[in-house]
Amino acid sequence: MKSTSTSTSAAPVGEAHPASVTIDGLHKSYGSLDVLKGISLDVAPGEVVCLIGPSGSGKSTLLRCVNLLETPQKGVIRVGDVEVTDPDVDIDAVRRRVGMVFQQFNLFPNMSVLSNLTIAQRKVLGRSDAEAKKVALHNLERVGLSDKADNAPGQLSGGQQQRVAIARSLSMDPELMLFDEPTSALDPETVGDVLAIMRDLAREGMTMLVVTHEMSFARDVADRVAFMDGGVVVEEGPAQEVIGAPQHERTKTFLSRVLNPTAVDHPES
């Protein structure tokens, strides 16, 4: 497992340091609203797990609990050998190991693309300007945007900005990547570019926990799929089985509507 120290050298190209994730009995509520009701889920090192389900089912909340952007009331989360939910945990050290890509790109609009990728490397990891730039340019090349280093984010399309956001996360050498519906704000033409980057990361062995409505991506790329509804995991298993032959009636209904959006159930007369 990769060290969380502020080393000034980047990981060699292609070298993966995947971390496992263990979630046990997780509860999260907002006042009287129970959002997560005892979720338990494991992600093995190098595994891709997709969370699918209707809006409001708790998928994004679960993802945000993994790096304590949301604080659960009960349960245990481990990333590698670190208990994230330990009250004494160094959460900044945890977040250095966990990359997160949101629906919105969250790039600094007043900085160039290159500066967006180097600022955290320098301030958090303690890398020199030269080393941070080298790592940033390498990751921009990985996402096909090496020619956009000097551009401002506002000069890029939405899909390009999301690819920059992925490159920014990768520049911190994460052991785990969290994706919260990374294509939901994109035009249909640019969705494929972002998903292609995620496919490459999966092939390289990155541990990934992905909230998505892209069923083809989940079926073809994920090792496992967890269908959530009402704050619980209703059904979980190999991606091909859950999406291709779901066992739970609620999963069947959801997938039928997602995969056949023009199909309408007419009430009997």
pLDDT, average across residues 81-85: 95
- If you ran DSSP here, which 8-state letter would residue 153 be given? G
**Closest by CA position to 101, among listed 152, 26, 168:** 168
Judge whether residue 238 has pLDDT over 60.
yes
Amino acid found at 54: P
192 within domain boundaries: yes
218-238 average pLDDT score = 96
Judge whether 113 and 140 are in contact, CB under 8 Å: yes
Residue 7 lies in a domain: no
Mean pLDDT of the chain: 90
pLDDT at residue 188, as a whole number: 86
Q: Does a structural domain hold residue 235?
A: yes
d(CA 11, CA 206): 13
Residue 264 lies in a domain: no
pTM: 0.89
In a domain, 145, yes or no: yes
Burial of 209 (0-12, 13-18, 19+ CB in 10 A): buried
Region of residue 112 (left: phi > 0; alpha: psi -120 to 50; beta: else)? beta
Distance, CA of 15 to CA of 163 (rounded, Å): 21
- What pLDDT, on the 0 to 100 scale, is given for residue 6? 33
Tell me, what's the pLDDT at 8?
33
In a domain, 265, yes or no: no
Give the end-to-end CA distance of the chain in Å, rounded to a whole number: 62
Model pLDDT, residue 57: 95
Q: Is residue 142 in a domain?
A: yes
For 160, the enclosing helix (H) or strand (E) is helix 158-170
Percent of the chain exceeding pLDDT 90 equals: 83
Q: For residue 64, give its domain range.
A: 21-259
Helix (H) / strand (E) element for 81: namely: none
Residue 3 lies in a domain: no
DSSP per residue over 3-42, as a string? --S--SSPPPTT------EEEEEEEEEETTEEEEEEEEEE
Tally of domains within the chain: 1
Residue 34, SS3 per DSSP: strand
pLDDT of res. 235:
97
Which CATH number does the domain housing residue 169 bear? 3.40.50.300
Say how many C-beta atoms besides its own lie within 10 A of residue 10's C-beta.
Answer: 20
Strand partners of residue 112: none
pLDDT tens, residue by residue, 12-44: 433 447 889 999 999 999 999 999 999 999 999
